[in-house]
């Protein structure tokens, strides 16, 4: 049971959602509420912009969004190739 909770906890902190809410924003009062809502770690980056810390590497919201789009493209290509 403890191992299962550790796995679930680790997956939660590596599951990124609502990332576009941080695009173009500075860390401050407007982002504090959103940071409290998400399970992943949001830290201060260059020019007081938000960064997502995943396993010690910092990603911008734009990088995360690009990764999501790449994954969606690969998934769509796999589905279309099967039809």
pLDDT digits (tens, 9 = 90+) for 2-58: 444 445 556 777 888 899 999 999 998 789 999 999 999 999 999 999 999 998 999
- Decide: 42 and 50 in contact? Cβ < 8 Å: yes
| Pairwise CA distance, residues 26 & 28, whole Å | 6
- Entry pTM: 0.77
**Residues belonging to the chain:** 83
């Amino acid at each position: 049971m403890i191992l299962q909770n550790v796995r679930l906890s680790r997956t939660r902190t590596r599951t990124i959602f609502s990332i576009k809410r941080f695009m173009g924003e500075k860390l401050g009062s407007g982002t504090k509420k959103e940071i409290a809502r998400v399970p992943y770690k949001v830290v201060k980056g260059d020019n007081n912009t938000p960064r997502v810390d995943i396993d010690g590497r910092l990603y911008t919201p734009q990088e995360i969004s690009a990764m999501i789009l790449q994954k969606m493209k690969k998934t769509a290509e796999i589905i279309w190739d099967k039809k």
